[in-house]
Amino acid sequence: MSDAHGIRMIDVGGKPVTRRTARASARLRTRPETVARIRAGSLDKGDAVATARLAAIMAAKRTSDLVPLCHPLPLDSVACTIGFEDDALLVETTVRATARTGVEMEALVAATAAALAVYDMCKSIDPGMTLEQVRLEEKTGGTRGDWRRP
């Protein structure tokens, strides 16, 4: 039976199980004073870096609940690193799974959720923050092979 609107989950049953990795990033642009408070751990809500890491892990695990048509995947690992520029917080996530389909969406959702968690913790002191450049940096594994952002 065919869906009249052409929306369907892709059948990955015939694909081989391989080691899959994806790395994504996001940038949260903010004021230098806000970056200083995040780095110092002096926000009213607590440690934004630790919260961002936890948000990334939780989000990666729930990607199929958030993004239509994504397969639920048993993840092998989720890592989140946070870096700083004068006026930005830099998030990078790496997701790994041994599966029939890739983990690009999990890495992208994780990076976005980490940045949004920091946004939530800082919005009272800097409502003008901007979430920018959410993007896939690289992926490995699968039938289409490896890809890396030039």
Candidate list 87, 120, 126, 146, residue with the active-site label: 120
Note whether residue 110 is domain-resident: yes
User: Rounded CA gap, 117 and 109, in Å?
Assistant: 12
Q: Is residue 61 part of a domain?
A: yes
**Does residue 86 have an active-site annotation?**
no
Q: Does residue 80 lie in a domain region?
A: yes
Residue in 120, 118, 105, 93 with CA at minimum distance from that of residue 23 = 93
Tell me whether residue 134 is in a domain: yes
The partner residues of 97 in beta bridges, in order of sequence, read 20, 75
| Residues of the domain holding 67 | 22-141
pTM: 0.92
Is 114 inside a domain boundary? yes
pLDDT in tens, the chain (150 residues): 455 678 777 777 777 788 999 999 999 999 999 999 999 999 999 999 999 999 999 999 999 999 999 999 999 999 999 999 999 999 999 999 999 888 999 999 999 999 999 999 999 999 999 999 999 999 999 888 899 999
Whether 102 is in a domain gets the answer: yes
pLDDT recorded at residue 3: 57
Q: The CATH number of the domain where 30 resides is what?
A: 3.30.70.640
18-29 sheet: strands from edge to edge: 75-85, 88-99, 18-29, 130-140, 147-148
* Confidence (pLDDT) at 2: 54
Domain count, the chain: 1
